[in-house]
Chains A and B, each alone.
Chain A
Amino acid sequence: MGRRKPSWKKATPLLLTAAVGLLAASAAGSSRAALTYYSENYTAQIEMYDIGVTLVENGRDVSWRNYTQKDDAWSEHKGELLTDMEESLQPGKAYPERLCVRNSGNIDIYVRVFLYCYWEDGEGKRTDLSPDLIHLNLTGNGWVEGEESHSGERRVLYYTSILPAGENSVTPDFTDTLTIDESVGRFLAKSKKTETVEGSPERGAYSIRTDYEYDGLRFVIEAEVDAVQTHNGADAMKSAWGDVAAPLAGGLGAD
């Protein structure tokens, strides 16, 4: 006659099995996945959540940083702005500078942009020239300037809507033109201005040239794009961006 194993004796292997199961579950870590679809063949499609964002200038992808589940790596590229412009810009002339953000991931995101403008020369940043002389015109189309903005040197823009996932999900342009203020000539002319006349009257040709000596002075603009998930948006934004009063239309998503 077999003796029945006491039920409490069964608890030990059960607990051990449960513990191993839990450990295995915890080891899955951040590679979270959602089972979204069952086919009739009982195969499953796993949807991976990847965040990604791309800075677009005049229709050209400049920089991007996209999470890829493969090898837990980021696909990223850092490009350069203003490369399709002339080498030297004329004061007062408005050059097209259309900047916007594209959602290059597969989850909805909130985005904000930091814009920096400043002058520099061979020795570094020049603080004697105002960044206000660099006019990066803000469109205000769907974007709102945050309270953290500081004049022309640093501006913070929030896209007031969710930027949904999707191949062609792009924000409206947050800037449209770039203009160097006419008055910059007055500041630069202070350094040194020379005029030369060259040529040979005998050959019936001569030239006149006016030069401003400003030691390689140039202006620089920088754009930084931050993106954060919209799921648990309030907490996510607070965690990633701190206590900011993000002016989002319809408030933050709490889903």
Chain B
Amino acid sequence: MKNENFQPQVCAGAASTNVTGAKDCAEMGLRMKDHGIKGWGMKRCKAACRRAKREGTGCCRELHHKAECCKIAAAASLFFAALGLLLLSSADASLSYFTTYVSASGGRNVALGESTYLEEDVKPEGGTLRKEVQVLNTGETDCYIRVKVFAGSQVNQTEKQPAISVTGGGWGLNGEDGFWYYGEAVPAGGSTQVLTVEITPPTEEDREFLGIESFDVIVIQECTRVRYDENGNAYADWDAAAATEEGEGA
């Protein structure tokens, strides 16, 4: 007698297979419930088959099929689960791509201020005074430097002024403004070449005539940081220059 709960679609392949030695339950005069089965779990099917063999009552085809179907169904479930897992993992792989990234940063200050230092060394040489002038760039920016040398205002008669002769490598006189320009930008930490100023003091007679006992030779230094035009060419903006002056008595 066929059990109504038997589900051949679950194990259709197995059901069509000829099971040697197994007989229909009806042929064996057994009913499924004779095996004491209440459910269709694999364990119970197997247990029932084992018990039927032990008791010599035999295990009918339906029950045998059911037990085998349960095993196949379990294996099939495992197979499909594994297949699903594999598909999932491959799907995951296809959605994750090789990527990487890298970054770096850095910062610096902006140098704006100028700082220069003027050194003078005065040496009497015979009847003249020799003044050596050198300007040091003590700031962080490259600078252009210019210097003006002239006698003090108390010597207001041109022909009686001390004679001043200025020379120096790298320096050039601009006749319009009277400044000596250093030809190159002085890099931060660098210095100009020496500008030599030779001063011939007025004679005693001239001093008496002028009514002075001493006079000043004044040196003005100006610096301006290097500017750059649109093409990257350096230039000096003397309107923005920082200046100071110093006098030297004689």
Contact = CB atoms under 8 A, between A and B. Distances in A.
Nearest to B16: A8
Given A6-B17, A23-B85, A182-B227, A220 B105 contact: yes
B121 A204 contact: yes
B107 interface: yes
Interface string A198-226: 01010011111111101011111111111
A12 B244 contact: no
Given A22-B79, A32-B93, A218-B110, A208 B223 contact: yes
B156 interface: no
A35 interface: no
A138 interface: no
A212 B76 CA distance: 82
Contact of B105 (A32, A107, A223, A231): A223
Given A206-B246, A207-B138, A210-B242, A232 B97 contact: yes
B26 interface: no
B103 A224 contact: yes
B9 interface: no
A3 interface: yes
B97 A11 contact: no
Interface stretch (A38-46, A82-90, A141-149, A246-254): A82-90
Interface in B85-130: 85-86, 88-90, 93-122
Contact of B103 (A89, A205, A223): A223
A245 interface: no
Taking chain B's interface residues, is the majority helix, strand, or loop, or is none over half, making it mixed? Answer: mixed
A25 B90 CA distance: 10
B56 interface: no
B221 interface: yes
Contacts of A161: none
B99 A228 contact: yes
Given A62-B104, A89-B108, A207-B118, A26 B99 contact: no
B111 A89 contact: yes
Interface stretch (B45-53, B139-147, B200-208): B139-147
B175 interface: no
B24 interface: no
Nearest to B92: A30
* Chain B interface category by residue count: 35 or more
Contacts, number: 258
Nearest to A219: B107
Given A90-B225, A228-B99, A217 B104 contact: no
A209 B104 contact: no
Nearest to A177: B232
A229 interface: yes
A53 B102 contact: yes
Contacts of A199: 117-118, 246
Nearest to B231: A94
B76 A236 contact: no
Contacts of A223: 103-105
B105 A207 contact: no
Contact of A12 (B17, B72, B103, B114): B72
A238 to B, nearest CB: 10
Contacts of A205: 117-120
Interface string A12-43: 11011011101101100110100000000000
Nearest to B221: A208
B82 A209 contact: no
A27 B120 CA distance: 84
Interface in B1-59: 13-14, 17-21
A166 interface: no
A12 B70 CA distance: 10
B75 interface: yes
Given A6-B18, A107-B98, A206-B118, 4 more contacts: A8-B68, A52-B100, A205-B119, A208-B118
Interface of B: 13-14, 17-21, 68, 71-72, 75-76, 78-79, 81-83, 85-86, 88-90, 93-122, 138-142, 221, 223, 225-228, 232, 242-244, 246-248
13 contacts: A8-B13, A22-B83, A53-B100, A74-B100, A80-B106, A91-B110, A189-B112, A205-B120, A206-B117, A206-B246, A210-B115, A232-B94, A239-B97
